[in-house]
């Protein structure tokens, strides 16, 4: 908002000198207009006196036509103008110190548009601007101070809190040490452990339990209409997959949706156990999933690490309960091809129930023995581990003739 | 080499995009690496196809090889065909050890005993999928290699994905052979069709994104908080959050399976004000509503967040992956059987 001295309002009639004027605002459009006091109603029609509350004021006929009454107040930037004509002379601006330069509003206005701006007016404007800036500055400082104070108070409160906590922990530690010394009288005497501490402790226990359940492979969460179970499978310490099962409990127990692979006989298991024994149902399903993922993991590992030994493609079905492959075996007299067929007739088991390893019909007898040993190995060890042990055995066999007997290994 | 085979190989090569030709041929494995290296790919596809045919003639390719090439092409571009899902049922509960060689033998025997002139080819893929290509003939004509049926079967599952040939009359025979070979007793069509074979698999194998509540939610990116001007105040924040939550409950977090359409056949009575005397006949008001989009479920998912529909959407629209069907018949309530959400 920029304040400018008033210009000639009524065009032809010059503003009488020595009269304080209403400052004008430069609007966006570049027009000069009086800011707030609206033009008083013209007396021409009604003859009602204006303003009505000041009876001694003679009616104003035209805006600016009776200059003696137009002693208007220079609007203080801090006081919002609320409209209405102020007929009385305005009180001295409290922001202007008494030894301030002569009232700049009393000076002569420019008689014409675009004339040079007189010095005293410019000074007064500069002064006002400075005042405004000062005001803003002080307000800002005050705010900052307040904020700092607030922050300080907060930090102090926190210090208090932390101290209290430290004391509590110290007390607890002492108590525990005491408790260790006299085990029989283990009582969380708890000199008054606050309700909050107890709650936190309980929450922690529950969290640990949840983690424990997650590690066991079966965990669930209550939902609006039932439970959502999560079954996590693992094979020899490697977590493999998570399957979900959304079970509704009302009006009867029923599976709403799930992500269990289609070839797992979920429906059979559900028919058998779901209505009668939820725990049993979950355990059986878990066994199926765990065994399936275990079998698949073994085959994947085999293909990943021993693809060089495998001959042709490995055949398996979706459930991985029949795995057929051929592999190379290096014996004393060159390399031979074994073919293996692994049956997993127990779907809850990740090791084969039957392993048939066969070699070429014309192979030497020692190879047939070896095949039998391999078959035994497949039934006892995970597939990739069995292969690792074959490789190891062959390595030692290969090394044996190279090293002269008795040489240190 | 048979002229029919040569022409068939040529046409198959012509269908493959130029950049992929070499990769497909390599997967085929019929031509040696030196032969593949000799193919000049900087000529028209017409000439490339002739060159491939010439090389195949050197190796004396037969119909079997040509059929395998066609399976490879269809496996790489399954979206060129329309797939329909069939469900099989068995009465017993035994889970069998599925043996691929047995399956092949039974399937082939069954079809060939009924129809002498038929070409059947199998190919097994890593994901336990068996692809079967069948070219049909009649007792008096040779199999038509250009009107083939495709079957994709995952062992030990009750679902079969069939892309039928123009010769539909052989479908019952095909279904019969499938049921017998895979040791089931009954087969029916599931009213679930799409060009995107993998999405159909995701739907029936329950691999699509579902919303499961757990104590261990997956880490998800909070996109809403990124790149948001703090000066912008969301006036309907709570409503937006509600929509997002409801949408997530229905569709889950991940991408949706790709379906191109959903069709609803309405056979409901027209309900109107009795005074208005509009359609007083007690006859179903028949009409067909078809939603189609390149990615229907994804577009349904974004309807509510975009403010174009109220959340949650009608279960008729959101039940598509759960019920594993995109063809519906809607009748008045008295006829509706309570549908189970667990797939049989």
Statement: residue A6 has pLDDT above 50 = no
Tell me the percentage of chain A whose pLDDT exceeds 90: 19
The whole-number average pLDDT for the span A229-252 is 88
Which domain-ending residue is among A294, A329, A360? A294
Q: By CA distance, what is A213's nearest residue in B?
A: B215
The whole-number average pLDDT for the span A330-350 is 84
pLDDT of residue B179: 92
Instruction: Choose among B100, B216, B341: nearest Cβ to A257.
Output: B341
Contact B206 A265 (CB under 8 A): no
Same domain as A389, residue A361: yes
pLDDT of residue A293: 93
**Mind listing the pLDDT tens digit for each residue in A341-369?**
999 888 888 899 989 888 877 777 778 88
Same domain as A314, residue A285: no
Same domain as A266, residue A328: no
Statement: residue A49 has pLDDT above 60 = no
Tell me the nearest-neighbour CA distance from A206 into chain B, angstroms: 12
Contact A265 B95 (CB under 8 A): yes
Same domain as A101, residue A3: yes
For residue A184 the two structure tokens come to 């029989």
Most confidently modeled range among A176-185, A385-394, B98-107: B98-107
Contact B343 A256 (CB under 8 A): no
On chain B, the residues whose CB falls within 8 A of the CB of A257 are 206, 210, 322, 341-342
Q: How far apart are CA A152 and CA A158, in angstroms?
A: 10
**Mind listing the pLDDT tens digit for each residue in A150-164?**
999 999 999 999 999
The whole-number average pLDDT for the span A133-145 is 95
Asked if B161 contacts B94 with a C-beta cutoff of 8 angstroms, the reply is no
Instruction: Choose among B156, B341, B342: nearest Cβ to A319.
Output: B156
DSSP-derived pairing of the beta strands B261-269 and B327-331? parallel
pLDDT category, A394, cuts 50, 70, 90? Answer: confident
Give the start-to-end residue ranges of the domains of chain B: 3-76, 83-204, 228-335
The whole-number average pLDDT for the span A22-27 is 40
Same domain as A110, residue A26: yes
Tell me the percentage of chain B whose pLDDT exceeds 70: 88
Tell me the nearest-neighbour CA distance from B210 into chain A, angstroms: 8
Kindly report the three-state secondary structure assignment for every residue of A157-200: HHHHHHHHHHHHHHHHHHHHHHHHHCHHHCCCCCCCCCHHHHHH
Instruction: Choose among B157, B215, B341: nearest Cβ to A263.
Output: B157
Statement: residue A38 has pLDDT above 60 = no
Statement: residue B104 has pLDDT above 60 = yes
Contact A244 B158 (CB under 8 A): no
Same domain as A290, residue A311: no
Which domain-ending residue is among A74, A99, A117? A117
Structural domains of chain A, count? 3
Same domain as A22, residue A79: yes
The whole-number average pLDDT for the span B96-108 is 87
Contact A315 B159 (CB under 8 A): no
What is the DSSP track for A270-319?
A: IIIIITT-HHHHHHHHHHHHHHHHHHHHHHHHHHHH-TTTEEEEEEE-TT
Task: Give a yes or no: residue A139 inside a domain.
Answer: no
Task: Give a yes or no: residue A190 inside a domain.
Answer: no
Contact B212 A246 (CB under 8 A): yes
Q: By CA distance, what is B130's nearest residue in A?
A: A317
pTM to 2 decimals?
0.66
Task: Give a yes or no: residue A153 inside a domain.
Answer: no
Higher pLDDT, B299 or A181: B299
Statement: residue A51 has pLDDT above 60 = no
Same domain as A113, residue A6: yes
- Length of chain B counted residue by residue: 344
Same domain as A232, residue A325: no
What's the mean per-residue pLDDT of chain A? 73
Asked if A175 contacts A189 with a C-beta cutoff of 8 angstroms, the reply is yes
pLDDT category, B159, cuts 50, 70, 90? Answer: very high
Q: How far apart are CA A178 and CA A186, in angstroms?
A: 9
What strands lie across the sheet with B261-269, from one edge to the other?
Answer: B284-292, B261-269, B327-331
pLDDT of residue A407: 41
Asked if B91 contacts B185 with a C-beta cutoff of 8 angstroms, the reply is yes
Statement: residue B73 has pLDDT above 90 = yes
Architecture of the domain delimited by B83-204: 4-Layer Sandwich (3.60)
Is the CB of residue B125 less than 8 Å away from at least one CB of chain A? no
Task: Give a yes or no: residue A256 inside a domain.
Answer: yes
Tell me the nearest-neighbour CA distance from B256 into chain A, angstroms: 15
Same domain as A286, residue A311: no
Instruction: Pick from A319, A339, A347 the residue to mutate for testing the B interface (most B CBs within 10 Å).
Output: A319
Same domain as A111, residue A72: yes
Same domain as A102, residue A74: yes
Instruction: Pick from B93, B94, B128 the residue to mutate for testing the A interface (most A CBs within 10 Å).
Output: B128
Query: Which positions 167-226 of B are in contact with A (Cβ < 8 Å)?
Result: 204-207, 210, 212-216
**Mind listing the pLDDT tens digit for each residue in B235-246?**
888 888 899 888
Q: How far apart are CA A292 and CA A347, in angstroms?
A: 7
On chain A, the residues whose CB falls within 8 A of the CB of B343 are 262
**Mind listing the pLDDT tens digit for each residue in B14-70?**
999 988 899 999 999 888 888 888 888 888 889 999 999 999 988 888 899 999 999
| Out of A136-145, A197-206, A235-244, A357-366, least confident range | A357-366
Cβ–Cβ pairs < 8 A, chains A and B:
85
What's the mean per-residue pLDDT of chain B? 84
Statement: residue B82 has pLDDT above 50 = yes
The whole-number average pLDDT for the span A292-313 is 89
pLDDT of residue B274: 66
| Out of A265-279, B16-30, B39-53, B329-343, least confident range | B329-343
The whole-number average pLDDT for the span A31-42 is 42
pLDDT of residue B277: 62
Q: How far apart are CA B58 and CA B31, in angstroms?
A: 10
Q: By CA distance, what is A342's nearest residue in B?
A: B97
Secondary structure (3-state) at A78: coil
pLDDT of residue A390: 84
Residue range of the domain that includes A340: 307-398
The whole-number average pLDDT for the span A237-250 is 88
Asked if B318 contacts B300 with a C-beta cutoff of 8 angstroms, the reply is yes
């Amino acid at each position: 908002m920029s304040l400018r001295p008033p210009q000639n309002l009524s065009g032809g009639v010059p503003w009488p000198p020595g009269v304080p004027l209403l400052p004008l605002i430069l609007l966006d459009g570049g027009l000069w207009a009086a800011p707030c006091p609206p033009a008083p109603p013209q007396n021409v029609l009604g003859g009602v006196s204006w303003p009505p509350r000041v009876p001694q004021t003679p009616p104003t006929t035209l805006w600016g036509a009776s200059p003696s009454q137009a002693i208007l107040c220079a609007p203080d930037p801090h006081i919002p103008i609320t409209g209405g004509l102020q007929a009385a002379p305005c009180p001295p601006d409290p922001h202007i110190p008494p030894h301030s330069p002569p009232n700049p509003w009393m000076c002569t206005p420019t008689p014409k548009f675009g004339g040079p701006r007189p010095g005293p007016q410019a000074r007064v404007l500069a002064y006002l601007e400075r005042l405004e800036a000062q005001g803003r500055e002080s307000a800002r400082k005050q705010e900052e101070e307040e904020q700092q104070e607030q922050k300080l108070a907060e930090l102090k409160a926190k210090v208090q809190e932390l101290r209290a906590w430290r004391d509590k922990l110290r007390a607890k530690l002492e108590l525990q040490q005491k408790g260790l010394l006299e085990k029989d009288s283990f009582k969380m005497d708890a000199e008054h452990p606050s309700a909050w501490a107890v709650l936190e402790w309980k929450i922690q226990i529950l969290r640990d339990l949840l983690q424990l359940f997650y590690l066991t492979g079966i965990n669930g969460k209550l939902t609006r209409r039932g439970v959502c179970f999560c079954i996590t499978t693992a094979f020899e310490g490697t977590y493999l997959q998570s399957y979900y099962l959304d079970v509704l409990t009302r009006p009867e127990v029923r599976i709403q949706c799930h992500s269990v692979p289609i070839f797992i006989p979920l429906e059979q298991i559900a028919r058998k156990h779901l209505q009668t024994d939820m725990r049993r149902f979950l355990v059986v399903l878990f066994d199926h999933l765990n065994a399936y993922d275990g079998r698949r993991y073994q085959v994947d590992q085999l293909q990943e690490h021993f693809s060089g030994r495998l001959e042709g493609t490995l055949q398996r079905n979706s459930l991985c309960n029949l795995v057929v492959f051929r592999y190379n075996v290096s014996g004393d007299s060159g390399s031979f091809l074994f073919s293996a067929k692994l049956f997993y007739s127990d779907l809850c088991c990740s090791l084969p129930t039957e392993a048939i390893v066969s070699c070429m019909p014309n192979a030497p007898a020692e190879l047939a023995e070896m095949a039998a040993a391999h078959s035994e190995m497949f039934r006892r060890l995970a597939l990739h581990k069995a292969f690792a042990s074959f490789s190891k055995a062959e390595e030692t066999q290969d090394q044996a003739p190279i090293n002269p007997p008795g040489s240190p290994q | 080499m048979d002229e029919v085979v040569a022409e068939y190989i040529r046409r198959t090569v012509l269908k493959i995009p130029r950049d992929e030709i070499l990769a497909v041929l390599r997967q085929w494995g019929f031509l040696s690496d030196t032969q593949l290296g000799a193919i000049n790919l900087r000529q028209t596809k017409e000439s490339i196809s002739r060159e491939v045919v010439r090389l195949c003639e050197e190796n004396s390719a037969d119909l079997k090889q040509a059929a395998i090439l066609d399976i490879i092409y269809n496996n790489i571009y399954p979206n060129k065909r329309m797939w329909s899902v069939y469900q099989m049922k068995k009465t017993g509960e035994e889970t069998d050890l599925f043996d691929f060689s047995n399956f092949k033998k039974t399937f082939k025997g069954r079809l060939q005993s009924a129809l002498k002139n038929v070409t059947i080819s199998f190919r097994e893929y890593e994901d336990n999928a068996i692809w079967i290509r069948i070219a049909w003939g009649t007792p008096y004509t040779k199999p038509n290699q250009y009107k083939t049926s495709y079957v994709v079967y995952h062992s030990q599952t009750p679902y079969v994905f069939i892309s039928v040939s123009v010769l539909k009359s052989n479908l019952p025979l095909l279904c019969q052979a499938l049921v017998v070979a895979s040791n089931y007793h009954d087969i029916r069509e599931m009213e679930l069709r799409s060009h995107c074979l993998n999405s159909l698999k995701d739907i029936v194998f329950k691999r699509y994104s579902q919303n499961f509540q757990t104590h261990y939610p997956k880490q998800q990116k909070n996109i809403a908080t990124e790149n948001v001007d703090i000066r912008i105040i969301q006036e309907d924040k709570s409503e937006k959050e509600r929509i997002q939550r409801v949408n997530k409950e229905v569709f889950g977090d991940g991408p949706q399976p790709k379906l191109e359409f959903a069709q609803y056949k309405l056979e409901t009575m027209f309900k109107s004000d009795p005074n208005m005397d509009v359609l007083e006949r007690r006859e179903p008001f028949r009409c067909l509503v078809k939603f189609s989009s390149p990615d229907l479920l994804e577009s349904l998912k974004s309807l509510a967040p975009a403010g174009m529909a109220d959340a949650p959407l009608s279960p008729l629209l959101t039940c598509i992956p759960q019920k594993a069907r995109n063809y519906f018949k809607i009748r008045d309530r008295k006829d509706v059987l309570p549908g189970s959400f667990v797939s049989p």
